[in-house]
Amino acid sequence: MIELQALTKRYGDKTAVDHLTFSVRPGIVTGFLGPNGAGKSTTMRMMLGLDSPTSGSIRIDGKRYNQLRDPLNHIGALLEAKAVHGGRTAYNHLLCMAQSNNIPKKRINEVLDLVGLSDVARKRPKGFSLGMGQRLGIAGALLGDPKILMFDEPVNGLDPEGIHWIRNLMQHLASEGRTVFVSSHLMSEMSLTAEHLVVIGRGKLLADTSMADFIAKNSRTFVRVRTPEPERMRDILVHSGVMPVFEEDGAMQVDGVDPARIGELAAWYRVVLHELSPQKASLEEAFMQLTAGSVEYQAQGKGEQPSRQTGQAGRRRR
């Protein structure tokens, strides 16, 4: 269990983390979502006592991080940036961490096996690929067999097989009753692994909800209608009690009507249709809308408007 209470971090006059209050419960994977620069990594560093908060507090199983005796046995973390000396072999890297936290040596080989790095245990991480580096970081997190695990953008740099592996690992860890807290800037990734969702933007809490609730609330279905006679079609739809919304390129979005019914109406009034397609707004789109006001560096220009772009991306995925 991790509890954050009004956690705030300021750098000069810039507020990176702004009165965050939420808790991370055991037994499930909690996704920590936010656009780049939202304050996710800063929050995680504060959880580990690496950065000190300007105000507010964090309790891990009721204690401050630096009050934990042998912290690696309570909480293990994979941080976004590499945290390994490139000239020290994988085994020795884990050994020096194990020694300070009273972890038996045989556990080192266990975690190396678990992450699939046994063959390179005596190699120096200087020559490791991004994925191997990530696996070594995960081995470090698992070293103390902790009840709480924290992963900052764990799938970054992993190949599809690696991504699959880490998703299963996180779910497996949660199913053992552990607290799993994982950050990402990709909604699609979260929707596959997380059961609970904490969304932040510009350091502020935007949502703290179960994934199921978030999906139910945010996955809007609609029908896209494209016709050479948009004005007529709109009148027809308005007449039958629905108000279509026009998209930029002239297509219409119709809510709450069956595509079959729209097709029948068009046929009855002899309107030519070029498109009649049921659509589902992606979670990515819902996430973008939620964080729209809080994106650090927004792309400019028409072609890159967030909602439009993810709509496309969402379609492609299906």
Partner 1 sequence: MPHTTRVLHSEWTKIRSVRSTLWTLVTALTVTVGLSALICAFTASQFDKLGKNEQLNFDATQTSFSGSGLGQLAMIAFGVLIVSGEYNTGMIRSSLAAVPQRSVFIAAKIFVAGGLVLVVGMATSFLAFFVGQALLGEHSVSIDDKGVLRAVLGGGIYMTLIALFAMGLTFVLRSPLLAFGILMPFFFLISNILGNVNATKEYAQYLPDQAGKTVTAVVPESLSRPYGPYEGLLIMVGWTVAALLAGWIVLKKRDA
Residues that bind partner 1 (CB under 8 A): 45, 48-52, 65-66, 68-72, 77, 79, 81-89, 92-93, 95-97, 99-102, 140
Q: Taking the complex as a whole, how short is the minimal distance between the CB of residue 14 and partner 1, in angstroms?
A: 14
Q: Which residue type is seen at 31?
A: G
Measure the CA angle with vertex 250, ends 248 and 255; round to 5°.
90
Residues 6+ apart with CB under 8 A from 11: none
Nearer to partner 1 by Cβ, of 151 and 222: the residue is: 151
Q: Would you say 136 and 159 are in contact if contact means Cβ atoms under 8 Å apart?
A: no
- The residues facing 10 across adjacent strands are 15
Nearer to partner 1 by Cβ, of 96 and 212: the residue is: 96
> How many CB atoms are located within 10 Å of the residue 146 CB?
22
Q: Taking the complex as a whole, how short is the minimal distance between the CB of residue 20 and partner 1, in angstroms?
A: 17
Q: Taking the complex as a whole, how short is the minimal distance between the CB of residue 137 and partner 1, in angstroms?
A: 9
Q: Taking the complex as a whole, how short is the minimal distance between the CB of residue 162 and partner 1, in angstroms?
A: 20
Nearer to partner 1 by Cβ, of 95 and 265: the residue is: 95
What gap in Å lies between CA 76 and CA 126, rounded to an integer?
23
Nearest to 33 by CA among 170, 208, 155, 178: 208
Q: Taking the complex as a whole, how short is the minimal distance between the CB of residue 122 and partner 1, in angstroms?
A: 11
Q: Would you say 242 and 255 are in contact if contact means Cβ atoms under 8 Å apart?
A: yes
Q: Would you say 276 and 223 are in contact if contact means Cβ atoms under 8 Å apart?
A: yes
Nearer to partner 1 by Cβ, of 59 and 220: the residue is: 59
Q: Would you say 72 and 78 are in contact if contact means Cβ atoms under 8 Å apart?
A: no
Q: Taking the complex as a whole, how short is the minimal distance between the CB of residue 310 and partner 1, in angstroms?
A: 33
Nearer to partner 1 by Cβ, of 31 and 140: the residue is: 140
Nearer to partner 1 by Cβ, of 134 and 191: the residue is: 134
